[in-house]
Amino acid sequence: MTEKMYPPSDDFVAKAHIDAATYASMYQASVDDPDAFWSHEARQRLDWIEPFSVVKNTSFDLGKVSVKWFEDGVLNVAYNCIDRHLETRGDQTAIIFEPDDPETPAQHITYTELHEKVCRFANVLLAQGVMRGDRVVIYLPMIPEAAYAMLACARIGAIHSIVFAGFSPDALANRINDCGAKVVITADTAPRGGRRTGLKSNTDAALLHCSDKVRCLVVKHTGDQTTWIDDRDVDVKAMMAQVAPDCPIRPMGAEDPLFILYTSGSTGKPKGVVHSSGGYLLYAAMTQQLTFDYHDGDVFWCGADVGWVTGHSYIVYGPLANGATTLMFEGVPTYPDASRFWQVIEKHKVAQFYTAPTAIRALMGQGTKFVEGSDLSSLKVLGTVGEPINPEAWNWYNDNIGKGKLPIVDTWWQTETGGHMITPLPGAMATKPGSATKPFFGVQPVVLDPTSGKELTETQTEGVLAIKDSWPGQMRTVWGDHERFEKTYFSDYKGYYFAGDGCRRDADGYYWITGRVDDVINVSGHRMGTAEVESALVAHAKVAEAAVVGYPHEVKGQGIYAYVTLMNDQQPSEELRRELEAWVRTEIGPIAKPDLIQWAPGLPKTRSGKIMRRILRKIAENDYGALGDTSTLADPSVVDDLIENRMNKV
């Protein structure tokens, strides 16, 4: 990676919320006295029904890991995101909705309208018997109702769990069952890139595997025909028209869960990451304002899906807590053609634009002619998230979208962290392409030696990335399994939160994320556990064994490489390959479909039967020189066979 520095312009710095000197002093204050720092921020940024007296109460000690912030404070998240803005911003647009089809008019939903919609939605939930603490699964496309549903839950103290609309019925059923949801909210069909996905039919299929008490709330979005089960299915829009337009807020403890979001890890099934009401909201709001240098009047566009944490924090909670105008886009970057992002920026005069490197690479591949026709002069800050950005993509973004003038914030964070952890603050730091730069306030990153677990204290160093102390946006637990929470994040390196990423710190103290060091891969900015894909593959009757690893992919960042050993009586064929691809799509969803399947008569295993993934990774990466010691394998000859038959050679 190039180490060239890109400082912000003087003009930008003059208007920015945070300049270099302010960053330095605030950062110091945030780690010297976290209680004073966060107490001040929480009082400034949020409205409390009952003020808190305790600020931070956290422990990273294995066996008694506990994360609590503002624990005796009482507030309501929906109130903070809507009601408190009504007096001053009632007529301001809260949400701009840009539909999949550019011919369909955009919607501008004011804070007053948002208030009414959310209240009505909340009353629909109450009418279904949803109570404080109940779980509500949301399986919706990128439509305003997704935000209404989230905020309606927050209003009445229910806990939402959004399932990305690209997940299969099986994946949906697993999540409904794991969190014990009372209700699932879906839509008839979801248009994306001109095609439609049957979300209601997926939900019907999922509910076959769930308790028959689960109610199904259906948003009739496209009006497409769906099946209807009278005593289970509820027409949300029709009900919303009937219920009262106002709904009182439910006072909630700062530590009451706001939402659960399932995410992939190294092992087992996805875990339900639990986020809090007070600390999470504070952290989402503060990072949205400062990382993007958001100012009143700006139109903010985070291009993620609400099904991922990025959408939670930077489409809904962060921007709305700040009284911002946030854009929700239903479509895809390449429909009707590869100019769509830039057209939307021009149309709505977007000031801050936030996307994933994979989208940039996909658009880069289409050439600059799709950018040239759009007026991008409204832009002030660009952002990226989800995976390391390669220099080509960074330069393309900088040259063509930023016109060489805009700060690019490369934000490193995770579902678990709630908000940005290592990120430039655009008026405070010069950026280096590919580096997430410096920690956000209160975040104390450390680089650890992967084997000894010792902190590497030299400025310039490389190892695994861990965090030394808690921050308000940190996840609180794994839903229903606190032990798994402790084991996953606090047991490898005692006393630290271990992120699962490798990193390098350069001579200027800048952090460079080098990618996951566990069995999690990052496909098109989507996080995927290789174990999940493996268990889907082995669930197929013709598959005896499977091992899945990531490999470098030009557009997706990483692709999914599956080694498959068939049952004795099966022969490899193109047809079977397609059958397995389709199988994984239905088991998990299209995002998990293997990019490459290699037939493997045997997998490299140790004598105790453990699959040597390191070797499989190297073969997938075409890096045979670095296979390391294979002499401990039960049958070293399988490696030769795998190399001989590596996918791109056949």
Q: Is residue 385 a contact point for ligand WTA (CB under 6 A)? A: yes
Site string for ligand WTA, 238-267 (x = CB under 6 A): -------------------------x----
Q: How far is CA 228 from CA 37, 167, 191, 216, in A?
A: 53, 21, 20, 10
Q: Measured from the CB atom, is 414 or 444 closer to ligand WTA?
A: 414
Residue 424: other Cβ atoms inside 10 A: 28
69 is an interface residue for ligand WTA by CB under 6 A = no
386, 419, 424, 529: which one contacts ligand WTA (CB under 6 A)?
386
**What is the Cα–Cα distance from 521 to 502, expressed in whole angstroms?**
13
Q: Does 305 bind ligand WTA (CB under 6 A)?
A: no
- Min dist CB 19 to ligand WTA, Å, is 23
Output the smallest distance, CB 145 to ligand WTA, in A: 23
Closest CA to 354 of 324, 334, 392, 328: 328
Provide, rounded to whole angstroms, the least separation between the CB of residue 147 and ligand WTA. 19
Q: What string marks each residue from 430 to 449 as x (binds ligand WTA by CB under 6 A) or -?
A: ------x-------------
Radius of gyration from C-alpha coordinates of the chain: 24
CB-wise, 298 or 305, nearer to ligand WTA? Answer: 305
Cβ pair 40, 70 in contact under 8 A? no
Smallest distance, ligand WTA to C-beta of residue 412, A: 4
- When binding is defined by CB under 6 A, the residue of 250, 516, 540, 556 that contacts ligand WTA is 516
Phi, psi of 508 (to 5 degrees): -90, 5
Q: Which residue has the CB atom at the shortest distance from ligand WTA?
A: 415
Total residues interacting with ligand WTA, rule: CB under 6 A: 22
Among 16, 345, 513, 533, binds ligand WTA (CB under 6 A): 513
| Exposure of 351 in the CB half-sphere (CA atoms within 13 A) | 14
Contact between 415 and ligand WTA by CB under 6 A: the answer reads yes
Q: What angle do CA 273, 276, 281 make, to 5 degrees?
A: 115
**589 lies in the binding site for ligand WTA (CB under 6 A):** no
Answer yes or no whether residue 533 interacts with ligand WTA by CB under 6 A: no
When asked if residue 551 is in the footprint of ligand WTA (CB under 6 A), the reply is: no
- Interaction of residue 527 with ligand WTA, rule CB under 6 A: yes
Q: Which residues, in sequence order, are CB contacts of 369 under 8 Å at separation 6+? A: none
Which tokens go with 644? 């001989």
User: Closest CB to ligand WTA among 55 and 356?
Assistant: 356
Applying CB under 6 A, does 412 fall inside the site for ligand WTA?
yes
- Collapsing DSSP states into helix, strand and coil, what is residue 391? helix
Tokens coding 34? 């976290």
Contact string (CB under 6 A) for ligand WTA, positions 329-358, x = contact: ------------------------------
Residue with tokens 């070797």: 615
| Sequence-separated (6 or more) residues with CB below 8 Å from residue 450 | 463, 464, 502, 517
414 binds ligand WTA, rule: CB under 6 A:
yes
Q: Give min distance, CB of 360 to ligand WTA, in A.
A: 12
Instruction: Supply the minimum distance, in Å, between the C-beta of residue 389 and ligand WTA.
Output: 7
Query: What is the token pair recorded at 40?
Result: 């001040």
* Alpha carbon separation from 137 to 140, 164, 192, 216, 650 (Å, rounded): 9, 10, 21, 10, 44
Q: 126 or 520: whose CB is closer to ligand WTA?
A: 520
Number of neighbouring beta carbons within 10 Å of residue 390: 18
Q: How far is the CB of 120 from ligand WTA (least distance, A)?
A: 31
Residue 388 within binding range of ligand WTA, rule CB under 6 A: yes
* Residue 168 vs 384, nearer CB to ligand WTA: 384
Secondary structure of 396-451 in HEC code, one letter for each residue:
HHHHHHCCCCCCEEEEECCHHHCCCCECCCCCCCCECCCCCECECCCCCEEEECCC
CB-wise, 189 or 558, nearer to ligand WTA? 558
Q: Pick the closer one to ligand WTA by CB: 500 or 604.
A: 500
Determine, following the binding rule CB under 6 A, whether residue 165 of this chain makes contact with ligand WTA: no
- How far CA 536 is from CA of 168, 235, 550, 587, in Å, comes to 12, 34, 16, 6
Take residue 77 and report the two structure tokens written for it: 């998240």
One of 342, 413, 489, 510 touching ligand WTA (CB under 6 A) = 413
| Dihedral-angle region of residue 403 (phi above 0 means left; psi in -120 to 50 means alpha; beta otherwise) | left
Based on the shown chain and the rule CB under 6 A, indicate whether residue 164 belongs to the binding site for ligand WTA.
no
Question: What are the structure tokens assigned to 21, written together?
Answer: 């000197």
Output 370 or 511, the one with its CB closest to ligand WTA: 511
Q: Are 15 and 43 in contact (CB under 8 A)?
A: no
452: which residues sit within 8 A by CB, 6+ positions away? none
Candidate list 302, 309, 327, 642; residue touching ligand WTA; CB under 6 A: 309
411 binds ligand WTA (CB under 6 A): yes
Enumerate the known binding-site residues for ATP.
Answer: 386-388, 410-415, 501, 516, 527
Binding segment toward ligand WTA, per CB under 6 A, in 247-255, 364-372, 406-414, 425-433? 406-414
Helix (H) or strand (E) holding 45: helix 34-45
Neighbouring CB atoms inside 10 A of 451's CB total: 8
Q: Name which position in 39, 203, 474, 522 contacts ligand WTA (CB under 6 A).
A: 522
Per-residue exposure over 243-265, b if at least 16 CB sit within 10 Å of its own CB, e if not: beeebebbebbbbbbbbbbbbbb
Question: Segment near ligand WTA (CB under 6 A), from 155-163, 226-234, 275-283, 404-412?
Answer: 404-412
Quote the distance between the C-alpha of residue 426 and its chain's center: 22
Decide: is 141 part of the binding site for ligand WTA (CB under 6 A): no
Asked if 410 interacts with ligand WTA (CB under 6 A), we say yes
Query: Measured from the CB atom, is 255 or 410 closer to ligand WTA?
Result: 410
Which residue's CB is nearer to ligand WTA, number 520 or number 638?
520
Instruction: Give the position of tokens 């805009």.
Output: 406
Binding segment (CB under 6 A) for ligand WTA, from list 304-312, 401-409, 469-477, 614-622: 304-312
What are the binding residues?
A: 192-195, 310, 386-388, 410-415, 501, 516, 524, 527, 538, 540, 543, 585
Site for ligand WTA in 449-508 (CB under 6 A): 499-501
Binding site for ligand WTA (CB under 6 A): 263, 308-310, 385-388, 410-415, 436, 499-501, 513, 516, 522, 527
